[in-house]
Amino acid sequence: MIEKRDFYINGQWVAPSQANDFHVIDPSTEESCTVISLGGQADTDAAVAAAKTALPGWMATPVEERIALVEKLIEIYPTRAEDLAQAMSMEMGAPIDMSRTQQVGAGIWHLKNFIRAAKSFQFERPLGDHAPNDRIIYEAVGVAALITPWNWPMNQITLKVGAAAIAGCTMVLKPSEQSPLNAMIFAEMMHEAGFPPGVFNLVNGDGVGVGSQLSGHPDVDMVSFTGSTRAGTAISKNAADTLKKVHLELGGKGANVIFADADDKAVKRGVLHMMNNTGQSCNAPSRMLVQRPIYDQAVETAAEVAGKVTVGPAMLEGRHIGPVVNELQWTKIQALIQKGIDEGARLVAGGPGRPEGFNKGYFVRPTVFADANNQMTIAREEIFGPVLTMIPFDTEEEAIEIANDTPYGLTNYVQTQDGARANRMARKLRSGMVEMNGQSRAAGSPFGGMKQSGNGREGGVWGLEDFLEVKAVSGWTPE
């Protein structure tokens, strides 16, 4: 058990307004690893009031000083890296080696990219040569509510906090109650970096409680939310009465389109990408579309690769996948695996139940379905576990039709050695991101989707712009 912590409001740790304990469960053991307090309305109001009070001074702080504080945070980050890694492994189940590299590494990566983007960003600029007395000013949206998920905690916290801080917004962070410990360590880092009181606040709570209180709060100017499409819809409705800005990064059902001329490692790469973080990534390539001439071999390869993916406790060092985050997710995944069997997909790896040797912990067998079609439940719904669905196709046009036939539009993937075809696919796939031939997006590339995968973009220049309002000024007097 880790010592219970409270809320960070107006530059100090404060006790909750009411006794409302929540046990955080270690998904590897199914045992409580810490107890946190869930906030009430009074806690939310106090955090928002602190942010509102701090807003005028923080907005007026020169952007160079705001950047310098984020740079100080970057200096502190490595000193707490192991604390962050241990916390995330224990509370959400990321294997410790993966937590140290990918989970922790994502945070400092985004902060550094924001610094690079901010130093070349013109927060005040001329409208154009045709209008010498017009200026465009980018200023902070205001008080921002940041609601983050459990699956990539530091990734999402830094994508929001880094951009909001540089933009001049003050903020209230509500991390997922499933993975709050890393966020409280991050609050300590923000305090050590010297951010003024009220600029950054943290209140623990669940979506129904603090989440709803923040999204409907009249003094919150913006909500930046990452999570499920269902929750994103609820937040949008709750925020509508106050007409606040809402940024949503939601679910996905990415297609990984593998043509017959794909490189030899394309199928293996796709399976391992799907299994990373135990399949708990919104941009996971969960539908593998394979051109028919290589389909049978691809199924064999996928089954073989998945069969070699090992499962183990999060605190065990080595290359393996850990548990899914909680019992609710485990039960949902098991139901969807059974649904795939019942609807006639061919199970070629994994299946229902825990992996062999496990009778405790929320562990899922790495699973691959073949011979699916795009109308099956496993091809329509976001499973959010280590479950891959394989679908054959014949032509480029058919691949595009299948890939786009989804309510989601976050990330699609293309594997082909034909450059012209790859570019055609990139233009026609309806998603906010397209990654081709195993090449990841570069530093500062925007992350976000379309359709039911959300709106807005995170990271780099686009991430900064999401926390800025555009002000048009005419009659500007040169200084």
**Look-up of token digits 């091809």:** 379
Q: How far is CA 236 from CA 146, 232, 233, 453, in A?
A: 14, 6, 5, 13
Instruction: Give the CA-trace dihedral at 404, 410, 416, 418, to 10 degrees.
Output: 80
Identify which of 452, 377, 448, 373 has the alpha carbon closest to the alpha carbon of residue 408.
452
Q: Is 169 a catalytic residue?
A: no
- Identified catalytic residue from 91, 177, 282, 435: 282
Identify which of 91, 220, 198, 223 has the alpha carbon closest to the alpha carbon of residue 147.
223
The answer to whether the Cα torsion of 180, 184, 189, 190 is positive or negative is: positive
**In this structure, what are the phi and psi dihedrals at residue 36, rounded to the nearest 5 degrees?**
-115, 170
Q: How far is CA 132 from CA 124, 231, 407, in A?
A: 13, 46, 45
* Cα–Cα dist 54/354, whole Å: 50
Beta bridge partners of 435: 413
Identify which of 437, 436, 438, 443 has the alpha carbon closest to the alpha carbon of residue 461.
443
* Cα–Cα dist 94/29, whole Å: 13
Q: Is 249 a catalytic residue?
A: yes
Exposure letters 450-476 (e unless 16+ CB within 10 A, then b): ebbbbbbbbbbbbbbbbbbeeeeeeeb
- Identified catalytic residue from 91, 169, 177, 249: 249
Class of residue 232 by CB neighbours under 10 A (exposed 0-12, middle 13-18, buried 19+): buried
* Cα–Cα dist 6/14, whole Å: 6
Active-site residue numbers? Answer: 249, 282
